[in-house]
Protein backbone atom coordinates (compact mmCIF):
# COMPACT_ATOMS: atom_id res chain seq x y z
CA UNK A 1 0.00 0.00 0.00
CA UNK A 2 1.30 3.43 -0.94
CA UNK A 3 1.69 6.06 1.72
CA UNK A 4 -1.03 8.70 1.68
CA UNK A 5 1.16 11.43 3.16
CA UNK A 6 4.75 12.38 2.35
CA UNK A 7 7.17 14.40 4.41
CA UNK A 8 8.44 17.68 3.03
CA UNK A 9 11.88 16.03 2.80
CA UNK A 10 10.39 13.32 0.56
CA UNK A 11 8.79 15.96 -1.64
CA UNK A 12 11.91 18.08 -2.08
CA UNK A 13 13.90 14.97 -2.94
CA UNK A 14 11.30 13.92 -5.51
CA UNK A 15 11.28 17.38 -7.10
CA UNK A 16 15.07 17.86 -6.78
CA UNK A 17 14.63 21.22 -5.07
CA UNK A 18 15.99 22.70 -1.86
CA UNK A 19 14.17 22.55 1.45
CA UNK A 20 13.76 26.34 1.28
CA UNK A 21 12.07 26.00 -2.11
CA UNK A 22 9.81 23.30 -0.67
CA UNK A 23 8.78 25.54 2.22
CA UNK A 24 8.11 28.35 -0.27
CA UNK A 25 5.78 26.10 -2.29
CA UNK A 26 3.86 25.22 0.88
CA UNK A 27 3.71 28.79 2.21
CA UNK A 28 2.51 30.14 -1.16
CA UNK A 29 -0.25 27.54 -1.31
CA UNK A 30 1.07 26.11 -4.59
CA UNK A 31 1.58 22.80 -2.79
CA UNK A 32 -1.18 22.19 -0.22
CA UNK A 33 0.12 20.71 3.03
CA UNK A 34 -0.90 20.18 6.63
CA UNK A 35 1.04 20.39 9.88
CA UNK A 36 0.63 17.41 12.18
CA UNK A 37 1.83 16.24 15.55
CA UNK A 38 3.36 18.11 18.46
CA UNK A 39 6.33 19.20 16.33
CA UNK A 40 3.99 20.56 13.64
CA UNK A 41 5.82 18.78 10.82
CA UNK A 42 4.57 19.38 7.29
CA UNK A 43 2.88 16.52 5.44
CA UNK A 44 1.81 16.56 1.81
CA UNK A 45 -0.75 14.18 0.39
CA UNK A 46 0.71 12.12 -2.45
CA UNK A 47 -2.23 13.13 -4.66
CA UNK A 48 -1.45 16.82 -4.01
CA UNK A 49 2.15 16.30 -5.11
CA UNK A 50 0.94 14.53 -8.27
CA UNK A 51 -1.52 17.37 -8.95
CA UNK A 52 1.27 19.94 -8.52
CA UNK A 53 3.48 18.02 -10.96
CA UNK A 54 0.63 17.87 -13.49
CA UNK A 55 0.11 21.65 -13.17
CA UNK A 56 3.81 22.22 -13.82
CA UNK A 57 3.66 19.97 -16.90
CA UNK A 58 0.66 21.93 -18.19
CA UNK A 59 2.45 25.23 -17.55
CA UNK A 60 5.51 23.96 -19.41
CA UNK A 61 3.39 22.83 -22.37
CA UNK A 62 1.78 26.27 -22.55
CA UNK A 63 5.18 27.97 -22.55
CA UNK A 64 6.34 25.74 -25.39
CA UNK A 65 3.26 26.66 -27.45
CA UNK A 66 3.95 30.40 -27.04
CA UNK A 67 7.44 31.21 -28.41
CA UNK A 68 7.29 34.76 -27.01
CA UNK A 69 6.79 33.40 -23.47
CA UNK A 70 9.63 30.85 -23.41
CA UNK A 71 11.72 32.59 -20.73
CA UNK A 72 8.92 32.99 -18.13
Domain boundaries, the chain: 5-66
- Residue 40: the pLDDT is 94
Give the span between the Cα atoms of 51 and 48, in whole angstroms: 5
Instruction: Evaluate whether the domain defined by 5-66 bears CATH number 1.10.1660.
Output: yes
Q: Residue 57's pLDDT is what?
A: 96
CB-count exposure of residue 61 (10 Å: 0-12, 13-18, 19+): exposed
Quote the pLDDT of residue 2.
81
Where do the H-state alpha helices sit in 1-72?
Answer: 8-15, 19-28, 46-65
Dihedral through CA 52, CA 57, CA 58, CA 63, nearest 10?
A: 130
**pLDDT value, residue 25:** 98
- Average pLDDT of each block of 10 consecutive residues along the chain (72 residues)? 92 98 98 96 97 96 79 56
Q: DSSP assignment, residue 68? A: G
Give pLDDT, residue 19: 98
Amino acid sequence: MERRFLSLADVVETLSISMAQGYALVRSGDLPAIQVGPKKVWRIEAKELEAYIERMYAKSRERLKDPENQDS
